[in-house]
């Protein structure tokens, strides 16, 4: 036994015409439901999907043009064919502009009804196929873009590691900052997703130093004012490198602002207090500690206790009090042991 064909809704206030059209459709194997006004049509559409609606233009109450616009807006998967008297051809043409697929003239011969319905359903099928193709194409384009971003991100991470590897004093710095930040994030009860974002931001926070002259990066002595202004560009440059390729904007945001100070004296934007993004505040504290406890060309590494004493003087000036408190709690509990080893 053949399965029933598409569901078609007949909206017609003339009982004889409504029954004739519905009967003709059923004889051709369609599932036809007939109603006598626009409100009843909307109720039927709300109960189940119809492939096609045959809508009379002139009906008591809401007319067919009103119903057409409702169907196009709320049930875009349902095609609409308008049914009109010969004198209403102009209105029918206007309905085509509003989204109707076709129109029929009363009285409706059976063969014309059959051809019009077949044509409308075929057009609907082609439109659905086009939509599926477009969605599939968009998915393929997005997948390709995602792969390109991943490849680019992998290259950027490799570049960041290569940049640090050139200097024995900063080798592994970003990884250690990321590990410290991860433990602070857990202390603050941030989500796993937030921790993953923060970890990537930590590993890439100094990527902008690729634009800093090696003579400045590796200078053993104090930087001149011009050299300091030059190196201050690395957070904003890092953000510019990352913005086109990271899907989560908070990564580039954290990189841009990881040298902002709690009191507004940092760079590049002079943000203060809670205006500094949370991830940047966390990186700021971890970056300071890691720098203090690592050997540099211009000084020896400080012990954790010495670093803590120096950092406590900076709370409320350089560092967020809340983040600093969380950090010092972890330090007191020896929670950072093993990082960098």
Per-residue tokens: 194: 């937030």
117's CB contacts (< 8 A; 6+ apart) are 8, 25, 28, 30, 52, 54, 81
Residue with tokens 């890092």: 238
Cα–Cα distance, 216 to 298 (Å, whole number): 13
Cα–Cα distance, 276 to 321 (Å, whole number): 13
Find the catalytic residue in 140, 209, 240, 312: 209
Query: Is 209 noted as a catalytic residue in this protein?
Result: yes
Beta bridge pairs of residue 11: 35, 55
Alpha helices, H only, 167-243: 173-187, 192-204, 214-217, 225-231, 234-242
Q: At CB < 8 A and 24+ separation, what contacts does 243-248 make?
A: 245/149, 245/152, 245/153, 245/156, 246/149, 246/153, 246/200, 247/146, 247/149, 248/197
Beta bridge pairs of residue 62: none
- Positions marked catalytic: 209
């Amino acid at each position: 036994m053949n399965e029933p064909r598409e569901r078609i809704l007949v909206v017609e206030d003339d009982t004889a015409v409504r029954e004739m059209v519905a009967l003709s459709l059923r004889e051709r194997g369609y599932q036809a439901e007939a109603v006598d006004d626009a409100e009843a049509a909307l109720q039927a559409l709300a109960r189940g999907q119809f492939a096609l609606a045959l809508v009379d233009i002139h009906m008591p109450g809401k007319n067919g043009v009103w119903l057409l616009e409702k169907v196009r807006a709320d049930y875009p998967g349902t095609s609409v064919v308008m049914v009109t008297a010969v004198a209403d051809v102009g209105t029918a043409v206007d309905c085509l502009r509003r989204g109707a697929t076709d129109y029929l003239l009363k009285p409706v011969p059976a063969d014309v009804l059959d051809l019009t319905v077949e044509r409308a359903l075929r057009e609907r099928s082609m439109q659905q196929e086009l939509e599926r193709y477009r969605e599939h194409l968009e998915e393929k384009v997005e997948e390709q873009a995602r792969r390109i971003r991943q490849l680019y991100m992998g290259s950027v991470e490799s570049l960041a590691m290569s940049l640090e590897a050139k200097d024995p004093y900063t080798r592994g710095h970003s990884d250690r900052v990321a590990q410290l930040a991860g433990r602070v994030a857990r202390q603050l009860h941030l989500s796993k997703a937030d921790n993953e974002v923060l970890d990537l931001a930590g590993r890439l926070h100094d990527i902008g130093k690729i634009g800093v002259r090696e003579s400045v990066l590796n200078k053993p002595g104090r930087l001149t004012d011009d050299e300091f202004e030059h190196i201050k560009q690395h957070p904003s440059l890092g953000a510019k490198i990352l913005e086109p390729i990271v899907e989560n904007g908070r990564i580039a945001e954290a990189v841009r602002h990881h040298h902002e100070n709690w009191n507004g004296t940092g760079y590049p934007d002079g943000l203060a207090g809670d205006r500094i993004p949370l991830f940047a505040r966390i990186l700021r504290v971890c970056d300071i500690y890691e720098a203090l406890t690592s050997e540099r060309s211009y000084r020896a590494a400080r012990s954790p206790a010495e670093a803590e004493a120096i950092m406590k003087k900076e709370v409320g000036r350089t560092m967020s009090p809340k983040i600093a408190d969380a950090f010092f709690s972890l330090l007191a509990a020896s929670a950072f042991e093993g990082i960098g080893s």
